[in-house]
Amino acid sequence: MLTALQTSELARAMSHASAPIQRIDAGYTYFGQFIAHDIVNETRSGGRSVSHRLDLDSLYGASAKITATVDPRGYFPIVRSSDGSVRDLPRLDGAAQIPERRNDDNVIVAQFHLLWMRFHNFLISHGYAADAIRARELTTLIFQLLTVEDYLRLVLAPEVFESYFRKAQRWLEFAEPMPVEFSHAAFRFGHAMVRPFYEDFPRDPSDVPLAELFRRNQNIPADLHIDWRRFFGWAVPYNGVQDALAISPNITEHMSAIPVPGRGARVDIVKANLEAGVTARLSPGKEYVERLLAGRRGPALREAFKLRPLDQLGADLTIRLAGRTGITIDNLPLWPYVLVEAMDNAGGRHLATFGSLICAEVLLHSIVSAPVTIYPAGKLRGTQEILAGLGRLGEALDRIRSAPLAGDDAAKGVGTPLTDPQRTLCIRHLIELIEEPA
């Protein structure tokens, strides 16, 4: 375990400029944050009780009747600015009236929460759901489906995704539904994807520094209103949408001074993550992999994924830490170990094998164990089968999924027109469904 001095030195070495991933759109950073807020307890005290099931209780609250979050007609109350141009969360004296207060920490995740409120309301207003209970079921199923077929398909190593979500092969065993290896380390890989600034906001200039996005307990201003088409593109290469940063041990320096809303202070996210691992008494990443390979499934893991421990820190950390702290690959904490693995073995385009195994295991469990699930009785189903079971809603999403790109989207250099009905279902299809004319 690292000393306090080593932890500080490592945090400084990791706070370094990174490059866009050029594979994952910027919006997926906040898709991952939304998932985490649904299934992982809040680090600071006073948060809601989290079920660890991916059932959108962060959106609906713990009660199955959801009467505390929707109005008598079954709709989420969505507020508009005085000129009607900007949607916002319902607020009381500035505080968002939503079950998960972390979803109001910054304007991007707040508007992602709002997107799912809008989708729920859309289902009722367009006759896809007769009431709020059915709208909740459909919203939860679509959220789970997109979590797997869109988000996890992008961020997991392809061979791990295939094993877990196509072949129903599970490789890890955890004693708890929310292991600290996931909550305090592996699933924090999304912090590496955070950009120092975000583009395409209505303000002039349109680039907004990261720190300006943290506005808890404040109305969403018109100049920070999000057009989700600028954050989520079609599931094709070079889709013209701003990219997340690479999954690597290089975390943008802007993450070392994140404003704490309402406290007038700033927090170093990199150092806080490292300290969380110390508090949870997590083993170094290499030691964890070695124990895994020495276990009963070790030979199968070696054969299936060629899993092996890393033998070096990686070029960037080696240079920045050379001869200063005694930090080596042998005592590197689990969180940065997962990031080094992603950079060294996958070029930062997605998680590598070890990090993917942890995330796939926990997230599959969180979906299978949910009271409403796309995988009833633990049975994996493909996109087409799941959509077929959703009636008119599934047909509507399939129609958008099957349509060729046109206009500006077709002109962005995306290559072959998208006419294959089996192409990846992505959140852009949901966005287009909500935004299309009645």
What domains are defined for the chain? 4-435 (1.10.640.10)
The pLDDT of residue 419 is 45
Bond preceding residue 209 cis, omega within 30 of 0: no
CA–CA separation, 65 vs 38, rounded Å?
18
Token readout for 321 is 């830490």
CA–CA separation, 342 vs 361, rounded Å?
17
Q: Say if residues 189 and 346 touch (Cβ distance below 8 Å).
A: no
Can you tell me whether residue 197 is helix, strand or coil? strand
Strands (DSSP E) contained in 337-438 are none
With tokens 């309301």, the residue in question is 121
Helix axis angle for 353-368 and 158-165, nearest 10°, is: 30
Strands (DSSP E) contained in 29-151 are 79-80, 87-88, 91-92, 95-96
The pLDDT of residue 82 is 65
**Pick from 341, 363, 304: nearest CA to 149:** 363
**Pick from 416, 292, 405: nearest CA to 355:** 292
Which mean pLDDT values do the consecutive 10-residue runs of the chain (438 residues) have? Answer: 92 91 94 98 79 95 77 93 82 93 95 97 97 96 98 98 97 95 98 96 90 91 93 87 96 93 82 95 97 96 96 88 86 97 96 98 97 95 94 94 74 51 81 81
CB atoms within 10 A of CB 294: 8
> Any idea how long the chain is?
438
The pLDDT of residue 437 is 61
Rounded to 5°, angle at Cα 115 from 111 and 119: 165
The pLDDT of residue 228 is 96
**Pick from 386, 372, 376, 369: nearest CA to 134:** 372
Q: Say if residues 286 and 329 touch (Cβ distance below 8 Å).
A: yes
**Pick from 356, 29, 344, 51: nearest CA to 186:** 356
With tokens 């005592």, the residue in question is 331
